[in-house]
Structure 1
Amino acid sequence: MQEDTAEPNIKADVPAADVPVANALTSSGRFELLVHAITDYAIYLLDLDGSIVSWNTGAERFKGYSAEEIIGKHFSCLYTQEERAAGIPEHALATVATQGRYETEGLRVRKDGSRFWASIVIDPVVDESGTLIGYAKVTRDITDKKAAEQALFESEQRFRLLVQGVRDYAIYMLDPKGRITDWNSGAVAITGYTAGEIVGRHFSCFYTQEDRDRGEPERGLAIALQRHTFQHEGWRIRKNGTRFWANVVIDPIYNEANRLIGFAKITRDITERKRAQDEVDRQRDILSHAQKLEAIGRITGGVAHDFNNLLTIIRSAADLLGMNNLAAEKRARYVEIIAETAERAALMTKQLLAFAREQPLHPEVFSIASCIQALTHVIEMTVGAKIQVNIDLPTDLKDVHADAGQFEAAFLNLVINSRDAMPAGGTLQISACYSDRLPSLHEHADTGDIFGHFIAVTIKDTGCGIEPSAIDQIFEPFFTTKELNKGTGLGLSQVYGFAKQSGGEVVVESQVGEGTAFTLYLPCAQEQPSADSVESSSEESRHVRSRNLLLVEDNEMVGGFTQSALSDVGHNVSWALNAEAALEMLDAGQEFDLVLSDVVMPGMSSIELAQEIQRRWPDLRVVLSSGYSPALAQKGGHGFELLQKPYTLDQLLAVIQ
């Protein structure tokens, strides 16, 4: 770094270095005042031999000599012993005489022997005829500047040594176009390229061909300029062609004028870390798969156990009905037992589907307060006299939008769970309130609370509580803390599935020995409920005029039974085993009042069939029937009527009517 070392332009009006010259110099009063006023520069004159003939205030200030002490001495006394031995003073004057100027920086000596770093300029002094009569010498103390420069140089050297010493990171510079301008030892170790091999090449040479084709290198620089940084992980290529997984950071670099001068790029080889993470993920997948298999085994075992019990009852009752000498009242009783057992089996299926969130729901707007109040007698009969029931429901509680029947089932499941937790009696507290957020549980755990409008129904008991180790499993199907044959383990799973599928949540708080509180969250309704529909009675639904029905069912047992049952009550039923056969019947010109189709079928689905019928025969009514269908559960039947299996004959006839 250079500082201004300009000096006064002293020319021919300065006399030579004898007495007449000195007298001539001192005769210029104004010039002498100017020179002596300058304190930051040592400005003095030398005669042809190099002896000092004038001395200003600046020279006296930072060299320590007064004018009386120094005038007449040779200027070489201000040089170091080493420079005098090397003939530097004489060389300086000779350079001025031959080249017209001498400029340098070097160490000089003060009166006290201390050294300082000086900037020196020597110019020739000539008279009016152009004859050299002496030398004008301007010196400035630049010790502080040189110290700063040295400190900066040492700092840059230390930083360069630091960067070069880092071997775990490739740290290098790019120009504005992405060409490599600098290269550290870490970059050599990671990529295999030496500085001589890589400097000047575009940094995209480290990218895979696929990334280059997608423009990833240019995209990285563009994002770095836009966002002031770019961070990414991906595959990079070494000199030998092998790939490594890299963590990359690119930052733009600007100069003092805020002009882009390039990019700083830091790359780290994290291949081993990625391999370790991939192995962790693989082990987690294996564990998850094992847990799923365990859960499937538990569910399968539970279903088999409970359904075998139900099938035993149905089969035994059917065998008894086959006895010729069975009394009419007993025959009626066994028919009732079969119906009740079938209802229990249907309820178990619904609970499983509710947990899987594949249960087709029929949401409606209803009042939770009114629903619970209507169940008060059922609650009291269910829990028994030893348990005190307290119901606290605000009168201004908002309506909810959910499946009312599923809510009642979920609510009663929670009540029964609380009853079983208080065998010796206790208190059951039922309350509800408005909430503007959904707790961040389960799959919402990473996103925080979900805000909205919800009604929170809390069922709190003073029972035995739940062990902390069991809290995370209580909503799993067939998991139960009750004694053998005291519960199916499906009640809480139904509550969980219903809450999730309804857009709500269920949370539990429990302390062993103090009790448990379940809170069921359901979304508030956005509109008021419509007028209640009036259902026909069972007897009325069975006495209807005959209809022409097209039954589409691939299960021969179900299809044959349904066709027979509907024919027995007076309907004309045509049966097709699949959607393609049904379309052939319709294309043949057969007229039908209603198409009743199972949802799950091979080939064309019932939804596609219904859509085709709607397009070609828009006046023909279509009813879809299923006990399980993800498509219907997620999209609500695609706008078609839905009859849920298992259904009773009365329900089927009511739909037909």
Structure 2
Amino acid sequence: MPMTREDLEAENARLRAQVATLESSLNALVASAARQRAIFDSSTDFAMVITDPNGIITDWNTGAEHVIGWAAEEMIGDNAERFFLPEDVANGRVDHEMTRALEDGRASDERWHVRKTGERFWASGEMMPLHDGGNVHLGFVKILRDRTEEHVAGVALKQAKERFQTILETVDSAFAIIQLKFDADDRPVDYRFIEANPAFARQSGADLRGKWVTEHAPDLERFWFETYGRVARTREPANFESYAEGFARWFDVRAVPVGDPDELQVAILFNDVTERREAEDRLRASEALARENVERVQLALAAGAIVGTWHWDLPSDQFTIDEAFARAFGLDPALGRSGIPLAQIVATVHPDDQEGLAEAINEVIARGGAYAHQYRVRRVDGNYYWIEANGRVDHAPDGTPSSFPGVLIDVQERRAVAAQRDSAIAALRALNENLEQRVAERTGELMKAKDALRQSQKVEAIGQLTGGVAHDFNNLLTVIRGSVDLLRRPGVSDDRRQRYIDAISDTADRATKLTGQLLAFARRQSLTPEVFDAAASVRTISDMVRTLTGSRIKVSVRLPSEPCHIDADRSQFDTAIVNMAVNARDAMKGEGDLTITVAEASRMPAIRTHPAVSGAFVAVSLTDSGPGIPTDRIDQIFEPFFTTKGVGEGTGLGLSQVFGFTKQSGGDIFVESTEGEGATFTMYLPRVEGLGDVAVEAGDTSLQLGEGACILVVEDNAEVGMFATQALAELGYNTVLAMNGAKALAELATGVERFDVVFSDVMMPGMSGVELGQEIARLYPTLPVMLTSGYSEVLAQSGTHGFELLHKPYSIDALSRAIQKVARYRRR
């Protein structure tokens, strides 16, 4: 049916309205698309990538260019696999992610990706499918964000936590975190163990993780609560060592606050030091016994009538005796080392004295303590001699007699002198005529008798001294022997083995130090004198003195502008300064003033019984502000083992070393003191001319350890010689052992070119080590000689005669250094 005009106009109006509506919708759609595009392009921190269903990139925003590196024109049309790692592409990771996105509506992922530069970066992102209005799949959109820094930091933190946990699990020290509990009055009353490492149970003896300490130790001392509570409240760390009765152990503790202050938590790191503390207690007890023998030590050093020493093990009735004892009574030295019963020992006692000896022995065994008894014994020559036995009986903790060490002294001369004295007194009393004349005639004889008596009193002191010395050294030998027996037991752990070895080494060092200080006091120590500036040496050692005395003592040093040269042992000089400084520190109770002065002096004042001496001296003085020294004690302070300190605070040998060093160096020590005003100790040492500047040779390091070198070892003691040759063999040297000087010269005569160094003991029968060295220097001037000695009167009086000296006992390291030093002379 044909349309009318009206119909056409109506249809035209409808179409125009429809076009207007379409135009409006199109404009809205364009505006929305523009807004979405602006969001897409402005997200610079997020990489947005749009792909088709096959993963081909169709759009790439500015954020993707910023994060991944490629520009849009480089990536559109390329596959999204381009910024995935090759191994992820090979494993089908991209296809898997698109599949998950289609199935679940989105796929989240965190992994390494690759930038345009080839650099890897860690990204977290999501992939989502794109659909049109008809739910037709158009492709995918992937959104990525760079999380590299966060990821690396997280990995590092995890690794650090793992390392820290490993340390806590394996460290020997105990570690725990505790939380404090306070009562209504803000007093710490308990603490709970929140965390604890495995070592905690070993060190404390209990596993308390998750428990309150009062559950294990309800009577624990208040000290522990107060200390940990103070750390938790003040946030200040604490270091301390204390005994915990509830654990029956000593602990060395470091406590530090951790966490938020309101949590009241403290981390503690501690070690069980019970064994060390008990060892210190035993050492203090041993030192106390040594100090009881002060007078006997001093007198015995000046006498020489010891027959021999013994040690009687009471439970087994076995005497061990030294070689001198065995020789004196014709006994087998081998049996003396393994053990001899009492019956065999007393078989040589005079029949008239045996009953009294038995009573004296039974009495001292019953009560314990010191023992002294005189009786006659038959010596190896068949004659009877008077001796005095001095010793000490020790009881076990349960009261059972355990050991009886002692010493025998020859008192034959003393008893003869006493008899002469008694006879002289009787004769004097009988005189009633010409008294003055007769007294004059007998005065000389009486003076001789008194001198002899004084000497006999010194001899008596030897017994008292050596009984104590033997006891102390037997204590040291007990530690060594016990450690050796423990090392021989099967299944000893490495830690315990090292502990026993350290005990042997430490005990040997203490014995070495004790004998060295006694030799220094007796002026029989082998010194190594050299010419040096005493002022420069004091300047060098002053820093160490300040460290030893502590911050509360002000140390002042006054030195001259010109050098003050002396000829002495530099090491012993420094040791004397340190000993006097430590003595001053202890006298001042750790607080006061200490002044060290070095000056020239034209005379040495009268000291003790010695008159003043004119001459060139260097005076080294230490003045303290302590309480001074009582007048009645000034004459005692240089005696070995004399001390006013408490148990475990010193051996009493420091000032003895100073006395022995100054006397052996040709000088003396002078003390001035007024009670309440401090004291001044002054060493006077002979001043000598300096040697000028001496060029110091650079160390020759070309000789490797034992490199083709052969050492001629000269030692009369077979055991020491075997040790020296084995030690040198361990160091890589070839060795030849000669038992005396004559055999050594015979070896050299067969071919001196075989040897690089001669290593000889000093004290040997026949030719001494010094004489052997002098003969070698005459016959073979280029062959170096090194001497070794623990004690030699020849060296003490005359020095080393220019030879290198290695002191006994020596370590293998010291032996190696000394051999390499002297071997350089042969190569030159």
TM-score norm. by structure 2 comes to 0.43
Q: Would you say 1:381 and 2:547 are equivalent positions? A: yes
Q: Would you say 1:513 and 2:679 are equivalent positions? A: no
Q: For the residues of structure 1 that align with 2:490 and 2:786, how far apart are their CA atoms?
A: 39
Alignment-derived partner of residue 546 in structure 1: 708
Q: For the residues of structure 1 that align with 2:764 and 2:748, how far apart are their CA atoms?
A: 18
Alignment of 1:335-484 (within 5 A): 335=501, 338-423=504-589, 425-442=591-608, 445=610, 448-484=611-647
SS of match in other structure, 1:394 = coil
SS of match in other structure, 1:284 = helix
Partner AA of 1:449 in structure 2: A
Instruction: Give unmatched runs, 5+ long, in structure 2.
Output: 1-435, 821-828
SS of match in other structure, 2:801 = helix
Post-superposition CA distance 1:409-436 (Å, at most 9, x none):
1111111111221226332222222111
SS of match in other structure, 1:478 = coil
Match among 730, 743, 746 for residue 581 of structure 1:
743
SS of match in other structure, 1:375 = helix
SS of match in other structure, 1:430 = strand
Contact 1:379–1:412, Cα closer than 8 Å, also in 2: yes
Alignment-derived partner of residue 254 in structure 2: none
Partner AA of 2:790 in structure 1: G
Contact 1:302–1:478, Cα closer than 8 Å, also in 2: no
* 1:464, distance to aligned residue in structure 2 (A): 3.2
Alignment-derived partner of residue 567 in structure 1: 729
Partner AA of 1:279 in structure 2: L
Q: For the residues of structure 1 that align with 2:588 and 2:476, how far apart are their CA atoms?
A: 28
Aligned residues: 385
Q: For the residues of structure 2 that align with 1:290 and 1:392, how far apart are their CA atoms?
A: 46
Contact 2:550–2:590, Cα closer than 8 Å, also in 1: no
* 1:477, distance to aligned residue in structure 2 (A): 2.0
Alignment-derived partner of residue 799 in structure 2: 636
Q: For the residues of structure 2 that align with 1:510 and 1:642, how far apart are their CA atoms?
A: 39
SS of match in other structure, 2:795 = helix
More relative contact order, 1 or 2 (CA 8 Å, 6+ apart):
1
Partner AA of 1:381 in structure 2: T
Q: For the residues of structure 2 that align with 1:300 and 1:420, how far apart are their CA atoms?
A: 29
Q: Would you say 1:285 and 2:447 are equivalent positions? A: no
1:554/1:416 CA distance change after superposition, 3 Å? same
Alignment-derived partner of residue 613 in structure 1: 776
Alignment-derived partner of residue 442 in structure 2: 275
Post-superposition CA distance 1:598-617 (Å, at most 9, x none):
11112332233333333443
Contact 2:549–2:590, Cα closer than 8 Å, also in 1: no
Alignment-derived partner of residue 190 in structure 1: none
- Structure index of larger Rg: 1
Contact 2:706–2:733, Cα closer than 8 Å, also in 1: no
* 1:528, distance to aligned residue in structure 2 (A): 3.1
* 1:349, distance to aligned residue in structure 2 (A): 2.1
* 1:567, distance to aligned residue in structure 2 (A): 0.7
Q: For the residues of structure 2 that align with 1:278 and 1:655, how far apart are their CA atoms?
A: 56
Partner AA of 1:286 in structure 2: L
1:585/1:528 CA distance change after superposition, 3 Å? closer
1:365/1:532 CA distance change after superposition, 3 Å? farther
1:274/1:423 CA distance change after superposition, 3 Å? farther
1:394/1:332 CA distance change after superposition, 3 Å? farther
Alignment-derived partner of residue 491 in structure 1: 654
SS of match in other structure, 1:639 = coil
Partner AA of 2:642 in structure 1: F
* 1:496, distance to aligned residue in structure 2 (A): 0.8
Alignment of 1:280-319 (within 5 A): 280-291=447-458, 293-294=460-461, 296-297=462-463, 299-301=465-467, 303-304=469-470, 306-319=472-485
* 1:493, distance to aligned residue in structure 2 (A): 1.4
Q: RMSD of the TM alignment (CA)?
A: 3.1
Alignment-derived partner of residue 596 in structure 1: 759
Post-superposition CA distance 1:451-506 (Å, at most 9, x none):
11111111122223323222222222223333344322221111111101111110
Contact 1:364–1:529, Cα closer than 8 Å, also in 2: no
* 1:536, distance to aligned residue in structure 2 (A): 5.9
* 1:320, distance to aligned residue in structure 2 (A): 5.5
Q: For the residues of structure 2 that align with 1:535 and 1:410, how far apart are their CA atoms?
A: 30
* 1:353, distance to aligned residue in structure 2 (A): 1.6
Partner AA of 2:440 in structure 1: R
* 1:360, distance to aligned residue in structure 2 (A): 1.9
Q: For the residues of structure 1 that align with 2:529 and 2:765, how far apart are their CA atoms?
A: 29
1:381/1:645 CA distance change after superposition, 3 Å? same
Alignment-derived partner of residue 310 in structure 2: none
Q: For the residues of structure 2 that align with 1:571 and 1:603, how far apart are their CA atoms?
A: 28
Q: For the residues of structure 2 that align with 1:635 and 1:495, how far apart are their CA atoms?
A: 20
Q: For the residues of structure 1 that align with 2:802 and 2:817, how far apart are their CA atoms?
A: 19
Partner AA of 2:598 in structure 1: A
Instruction: Give unmatched runs, 5+ long, in structure 1.
Output: 1-268
TM-score norm. by structure 1 comes to 0.53
Alignment-derived partner of residue 84 in structure 2: none
Contact 1:542–1:569, Cα closer than 8 Å, also in 2: no
Q: For the residues of structure 2 that align with 1:553 and 1:360, how far apart are their CA atoms?
A: 19
